[in-house]
A and B are shown apart, each in its own frame.
Chain A
Amino acid sequence: MAVKFLVRIKYPDNQIPDGDRLPREVNGYPVDVEQVGTFRRFMPPSSGAAPAMTMPDPRKKIRPAQPGCSIGFKDPNNQIIMAGTFGALVSKGTKRFILSNNHVIADENNLPLGSSIFQPGFLDAGNPPNNGPIAKLTKFIPLVPGTVTNKVDGAIAELNNKNLATNSVLFIGPPKGKTAGEIDMVVHKFGRTTGFTVGRITSVETDVSVQYDAGVVNFQDQIIIVGLGAQPFSASGDSGSLILERSTNKAVALLFAGSSTHTIANHIKDVLSALSVTLTL
């Protein structure tokens, strides 16, 4: 006899932070963990219905890489082992880039342009690391701590080869354009840590103070999201995720910060315009 935990995604033991691991036994009974994906209500079969999708593991090595999966940089000082999320495939002319946050692929202005971006991030790659470079840091919008007002936490890295990534967000599919966020809009995202989550926008113009390594950075007119069903919309490692309107799959925002209850995201229009790129549709 055992106590069985049914989980959305089952991760290897060495990829789970110490405090987050399930117990090995409960009241003396051994624990068994089974990956079952997300439970959904059964829909009556209809013609042309898509087969049920299993929840992908964003921390694995994925080729071509897809938005929603783990990415990161290699710390030149070998101090930080990290991971964030590949948000979207973006273009300028014939060039293709991965879009994420400055703090995910440029280490808060610290990483030299041209540095390699890896999939998955080293925090998820195991030891020895099973990952590889997919892009090179091309441009970041500097984060400025103090009283200066920032708009976005964004950066792009050009793909080493156009076949190394697609525009199809894990579990969600390709973005169908972009639209402005509105209060009460229902949105979804797929991120490296919490995977697929659904939330509701509570504000599209909130000024926030966010704690970074370099100090407190102030952002103006940001989007605030709370998770639906009392579930958090995001957690550490989801930075960089693209947030889309649930009913249309149009891109709305780029996730970059939050707390245990609230998620903060940049307007996607501001991110794309600051980096002079367009979504690859």
Chain B
Amino acid sequence: MEETIATKQEIRELKHRHSARLLSQPGVSGVGVEKDDKGEYVLAVHLDSDDSEGLKLLPDKIEGYSVKYIKSGPFRKLRANNEK
């Protein structure tokens, strides 16, 4: 089946519908609107690592839209600290 090109607004709405559920899964640190290598809008899911347990549960597509998985987390505040 030929893939249709998603608009930014479609991916934005897809994110709104699925962001909270995806972020509650272990190993998922971010869900956003990004572009893929071809410059098309996709749902991007940021992962703590690429061997996250949760990754096994994550689908290649959501509502028929492609999902781009990125190993980027975990995300932390960026303060420099030395505990005494």
Cβ of A205 and Cβ of B79 under 8 Å apart? no
Task: Please report the total number of A residues contacting B with Cβ < 8 Å.
Answer: 48
Q: Is A169 an interface residue (CB 8 A)?
A: no
Q: Which residue of B lies closest to A205 (CB)?
A: B33
Most buried by B among A78, A208, A211: A208
Question: C-beta contact mask, B55-84 vs A, less than 8 Å → 1, else 0?
Answer: 000000000000000111111111111111
CB neighbours (8 Å) of B80 from chain A are: 82-84, 121, 123, 192-193, 236-237
A245 to chain B minimum Cβ distance, whole angstroms, is 18
What is the count of residue pairs linking A and B with beta-carbon distances less than 8 angstroms? 128
Q: Is the interface of B mostly helix, strand, loop or mixed?
A: strand
Which residues on A sit within 8 Å (CB–CB) of B19?
207
| CA gap between A203 and B34 in the complex, in Å | 5
Given A80-B83, A82-B81, A206-B33, the answer on whether A211 and B23 have CB atoms closer than 8 Å is no
B54 within 8 A of A: no
User: Is A262 touching B72 in the complex (CB atoms < 8 A)?
Assistant: yes
In the docked arrangement, what's the CA distance between A192 and B28, Å?
29
Contact surface of A with B, Cβ cutoff 8 Å: 17, 78-84, 101, 103-104, 121, 123, 147, 153, 183-184, 192-193, 202-212, 218, 222, 224, 234-239, 255-259, 261-264
